[in-house]
Amino acid sequence: MSWAEIIRTGLEAVRSHRLRSGLTMLGILIGVAAVILTVGLGEGAQDKVRGQINALGSNLLIVAPGSTTTNGVRGGFGSASTLTRADADALRSTIVAPDIRAVAPTTSRSAALAAGSASWTASVVGTTPDWLSVRARDIGTGRFISGQDVADHAAVTVLAATTAEELFGARDPVGQPVTVSGVPMTVIGTLTAAGSSANTNEDDQAIVPITTAADRITGGVSRNSVQDIYLEATSGHTLSAAYQEADYELLARHRITTPTAADFSITSQQSILSTATSVDRTLTVLLAGVAGISLLVGGIGVMNIMLVSVTERIREIGLRKALGASPRVIRRQFLVEASVLGLAGGLLGTALGLAGAAILPHLISDPISISPTATVGSIVIAVAIGVAFGVYPATRAARLAPIEALRSE
Amino acid sequence: MTPTDSPSAESTPVASRPVASEPVEPGADRPGTSEPGASAAVIELTDVRKIYRSGLFEVAALRGVSLSIQEGEYVAITGPSGSGKSTLMHILGCLDVPTSGLYRLAGEDVGGMSEDQLAEVRNRRIGFVFQQFNLLPSMTAWRNVELPLCYAGGPRSERRQRAVDALADVGLADRVEHRPAELSGGQQQRVAVARALVTNPSLILADEPTGNLDSASTEDVLGLFRRLHDVGRTIVLITHEAEVAAAADRVLQVRDGVVTADSGPAARTARSARKVRA
């Protein structure tokens, strides 16, 4: 009996027991759909995090102030700002740090803004012209703060999209007066929307020259300290060189001889990315594992039904043997039936998974990105499960003695 | 079908074996050359024994059966239940193998065959008709008849043609696309007979073929067997009913695992001599 013939016979058997075949497939179907959706959700979450971190800017290094040591007691990270504008200026030198293209020291504090009768509280960021390219932002209208503004301690501000909207509504804010923490300033430009990340709202900011912020908003003894220094390497390849240059220069400037005692830390965008995505990946693997177990349970369902089927069709098997079916042919017939159930369940499960991936993001706010590997993989596994769990029932069927089979009522 | 290409058919002349139960005509070991008048032994049993073991007990179902059935014979095997006639039928049908003794089917020694070879022999040599009809309910009549051809192989169109022809032979040309549930008991058994015929086997083996039929359908099926016999088919019918056995030309009585009476091949009438092989 040819394979084509055996497959036709197997399909006929599956079709002639529609309800049972359907229920058997259901197990595999749910398993496959679950694998596709959970892996999709995990990948979607990873993509989202990756997108957020990439939005920080490319080839980015972030220097954050570390702990200070006061009277031999080491404070925690961020307990004091050990970075100053002078540190940033030093890193701007192409002799000291040839692989650093742009340096943007930032200070940030929340402050009240008012324009006419409208008032709004936003994060006021003091920085330098490099900020725009380092943070990969774009100017919507007007212009960004210039080197001259920084040198002049100019009373100018650039508003992010939400802030501009809240203060000026539909009006063009460029050229309008606004008070920032009671300091009158002129709006010189707006930023385009960037979307919000998990921690900060990138669209609710007012950017001012760092010198202006130091003098008129922060003030006090910490006026010259900065919260972060954003560094942009000249390219992705020079990122680690830029890291070393910054590290070396800052250690030298802070007169620290042992690198482990550094009062600052430098993180790369890559390290943030891998930390964030590895958490998501662990979760994905866990969920996919659970889904995989349901696939396995589906496979056991296939075996169960195939065994019932062998017992129920004992006369048919006997008859087929009497008519000349060799044990091999009988075994193949039952194997084909089991793998047809696996394949059909796998394909239907994929359809359900894809439909779910299309509908679910509208119901929950999380994105789902379909992984072709997981999709093809789960179909293959579904068929493999059908075959693997079909072997035992098929062998049982093949071993039946024709007389025993024919005799049974 | 014209058997056989097996070398074993030629190797041992049947007549030379000491326990041949019947005088055998020359050329009997060449079933492939069925010239009119020259008969070939389709079935040759020599001292066949079958012992079933269950735990400590041994039950001898057959205790030395020797018999020979020639091509074109119409034989009934009869006996009460427990006589061993079912066991004999299973051995004749290659559904079971003897514990000892020799069985040649159309010249081939069946004894030493593997399961795969037995399956092939059943497919080529034997057409079964069962008491329970054993049709597959999900398939139409012609698909049921086609079933043994599926295992033999061959192009689909040819298989369908042969199945339809066989149905026409048993008078069911207009029931080709019917499912078993849409047919009467007698018609179902005729489909089963068509299925037994379709491979052109050496032997038609019918196990209580009328056991589930009313008297009209019994007449019908027995008439069909008679017609098949008339065109030269070899038919072995297992039954416990005397009137059904009487329809055959030769009756073998089985009791306690041995053949107790044999009306003998003499019963072969002029009718079977007229046989025409397809």
Choose the mutation target among A12, A312, A314, A319 for the interface with B, i.e. most B CBs under 10 Å. A319
* Closest chain A residue to B198, measured at CA: A323
Chains A, B: CB pairs < 8 Å: 63
Query: For residues A2 and B153, is the Cβ–Cβ distance under 8 A?
Result: yes
ipTM summary value: 0.79
Q: CB-based burial of residue A179 (10 Å sphere; 0-12 exposed, 13-18 middle, 19+ buried)?
A: middle
Supply the angle between the helices B215-230 and B185-197 in degrees, to the nearest 10: 20
Confidence of residue A305 (pLDDT cuts 50, 70, 90): confident
Rg (CA), chain B: 18
Q: Hey, is the C-beta of A93 within 8 angstroms of any chain B C-beta? A: no
Pick B123's closest partner by Cβ from A9, A12, A324. Answer: A324
- Chain A residues whose CB is inside 8 A of the B122 CB are 321-324
- Is B212 domain-assigned? yes
- Is B278 domain-assigned? no
Pick B134's closest partner by Cβ from A12, A319, A329. Answer: A319
As a whole number, mean pLDDT of residues A337-341 equals 89
pLDDT confidence of residue A408: 64
pLDDT confidence of residue A137: 85
Beta-carbon separation of A323 and B139 below 8 A:
no
Q: Please state, rounded to an integer, the average pLDDT across all residues of chain B.
A: 81
Pick A323's closest partner by Cβ from B115, B123, B139. Answer: B123
**Per-window interface: B 162-221 vs A, CB < 8 A:** 195, 199
Distance between CA atoms of residues B252 and B48, nearest Å: 15
Q: Hey, is the C-beta of A4 within 8 angstroms of any chain B C-beta? A: no
Helix (H) / strand (E) element for A126: namely strand A118-127
As a whole number, mean pLDDT of residues A265-270 equals 81
pLDDT confidence of residue B275: 44
- Is B256 domain-assigned? yes
- In angstroms, the separation between the Cα of residue B206 and the nearest Cα of chain A is 12
Q: Which of the given ranges, A68-72, A194-198, B9-13, B235-239, has the highest pLDDT on average?
A: B235-239
- Is B190 domain-assigned? yes
A361-380 core/surface letters (b: 16 or more CB in 10 A; e: else): beeeeebbbbbeebbeebbe
Nearest partner of A187 among A214, A203, A205, A211, judged by Cα: A205
Residues in Cβ contact with B182 at an 8 Å cutoff, skipping those fewer than 6 apart? none
As a whole number, mean pLDDT of residues A346-370 equals 87
Q: Which of the given ranges, A214-218, A405-409, B175-179, has the highest pLDDT on average?
A: B175-179
Q: Which domain holds residue B220?
A: 8-273
Confidence of residue A200 (pLDDT cuts 50, 70, 90): low
Q: Hey, is the C-beta of B159 within 8 angstroms of any chain A C-beta? A: no
Q: Hey, is the C-beta of A329 within 8 angstroms of any chain B C-beta? A: yes
Q: For residue B1, is pLDDT > 70?
A: no
Least confident of A345-349, B36-40, B163-167: B36-40
pLDDT confidence of residue A187: 92
- Chain A residues whose CB is inside 8 A of the B134 CB are 315, 318-319, 406
Find the DSSP H helices in chain B: 8-11, 85-92, 115-125, 141-152, 156-169, 185-197, 215-230, 242-245, 270-273
pLDDT digits (tens, 9 = 90+) for B165-176: 999 988 899 999
**Per-window interface: B 43-82 vs A, CB < 8 A:** none
* Closest chain B residue to A16, measured at CA: B138
- Is B170 domain-assigned? yes
- Chain A residues whose CB is inside 8 A of the B152 CB are 324
Beta-carbon separation of A320 and B116 below 8 A:
no
- Chain A residues whose CB is inside 8 A of the B195 CB are 323
Q: Hey, is the C-beta of A5 within 8 angstroms of any chain B C-beta? A: yes
- Is B3 domain-assigned? no
Q: For residue B33, is pLDDT > 60?
A: no
Q: For residue A407, is pLDDT > 90?
A: no
State what percent of residues in chain A have pLDDT above 90.
Answer: 11
Take residue A269 and report the two structure tokens written for it.
């965008």
Least confident of A63-72, A140-149, B56-65, B160-169: A63-72
Domain ranges of chain A: 3-52+275-407, 83-262
Beta-carbon separation of B134 and A326 below 8 A:
no
Pick A326's closest partner by Cβ from B90, B115, B153. Answer: B115
Select the more confidently predicted residue: A201 or B47: B47
Q: Which amino acid is at A74?
A: R
